[in-house]
Structure 1
Amino acid sequence: MRRLLAVTITVPILVAVLVHALGDDPGTRPAPERRKPDLSGHTLDGRPFTPSDLRGAPVLVSVWASWCDPCRQEFPLLVAAARDLRGVHVLGVDLRDTASAARAFLKETGATSFPHLSDPDGRLALELGARGVPETFLLDRDGFIIDRMIGALTPGWIEAHVPPLLDP
């Protein structure tokens, strides 16, 4: 009888834990609120950067680091997006990295065609609401976060989320 009671109690708890853990795909959860992050800062080459440089077009903001292997895997996709998606800006946010390591990473991945902000203390990542690297945020034409991808980008995610923001 005790064994039946233990199974009756334990099984539903285990099922609830598994449903909670496996239920949502964390990579495609929408941004929790519509807000406009302040992405002011300096690029990796030391130039000042203001978000007004990006207004008027959707922006893919990638939070990355040179020490992040999934970042290295997703960068060819970001380079292709910056090259091929007309009307979309791409912006990198280099999290807790040295400038020399970051510049070497960009040279190696060919991602020098779009700006990258230095974020040595994590302020910009926190401003975006990032939980780690890689993480990508999609901003609308006015600079508001409208979606996010936790983990490495995929072509399918870009195809599903970016074209609807572009003019026909």
Structure 2
Amino acid sequence: MKRMLMLVPLAIFLLIAVFLYKGLFLNPSDIGSTMIGKPLPEFSLASLETPERKVTVADFQELPALLNVWATWCPTCKAEHAMLNKLAAQGVVVYGVNYKDDSDAARQWLAQLGNPYRFSVEDPEGSLGINLGVYGAPETFVIDRKGIVRDKFVGAIDERIWRERLAPLYQSLVDEQ
């Protein structure tokens, strides 16, 4: 009986080790989203570019599109920004959500680094971010012609991520007519 009791800690250790080992092979940018397959949530927020203008889901006229959650306090967003400018220059439709940020700093940032967004909404309290299930910035959602979220990517979009994951989906949504 005493020998069996001595095996209990070993069994617990092995069980924990299996879970930790499995975690080594998870992709941290593949968090998933409860929004996949659902329409963008309703909102009414100020436009970053024109604060007196209220933006709603109805303002997302050009779809499919990318919806990029960004902030000036986010160093990864700054690293991603050049890629977003490049995509916008190639005709990819990109909308922005300025997440829990200072509006003046955000406008200055876009003036200095370029503005890839058709428009950005101010989300100073993070209410839209909460409704989208945002964990932080940057996060990018792929939206189809009907305003349905088709994919979510957490982290910076770079050439590889665009080419291998997002571009094929985006192009297939553009080709749907």
| TM score, norm. by length of structure 1 | 0.84
Q: Is the 8 A contact 2:143 2:149 kept in 1?
A: yes
Kindly state the Cα deviation for residue 28 of structure 1 after the two structures are TM-superposed.
3.1
Change (3 A) 1:153 1:92: same
In the alignment, is residue 92 of structure 1 matched against residue 100 of structure 2?
no
Partner of 1:34: 37
Partner of 1:48: 54
Q: Which runs of 5+ in 2 are unaligned?
A: none
Partner of 2:108: 104
Q: Count matched residues.
A: 165
What is the aligned counterpart of 1:135 among 130, 136, 139? 139
Kindly state the Cα deviation for residue 151 of structure 1 after the two structures are TM-superposed.
1.3
Superposed counterparts of 1:63-74, under 5 Å: 63-74=69-80
Kindly state the Cα deviation for residue 14 of structure 1 after the two structures are TM-superposed.
1.4
Q: Is the 8 A contact 1:54 1:89 kept in 2?
A: no
Percent identity between matched residues is: 32
Q: Is the 8 A contact 1:55 1:143 kept in 2?
A: no
Change (3 A) 1:40 1:26: farther
| TM score, norm. by length of structure 2 | 0.80
Partner of 1:148: 152
Partner of 1:163: 171
Partner of 2:16: 13
RMSD: 2.4
Structure 2 Cα separation of the partners of residues 164 and 57 of structure 1:
12
Partner of 1:59: 65
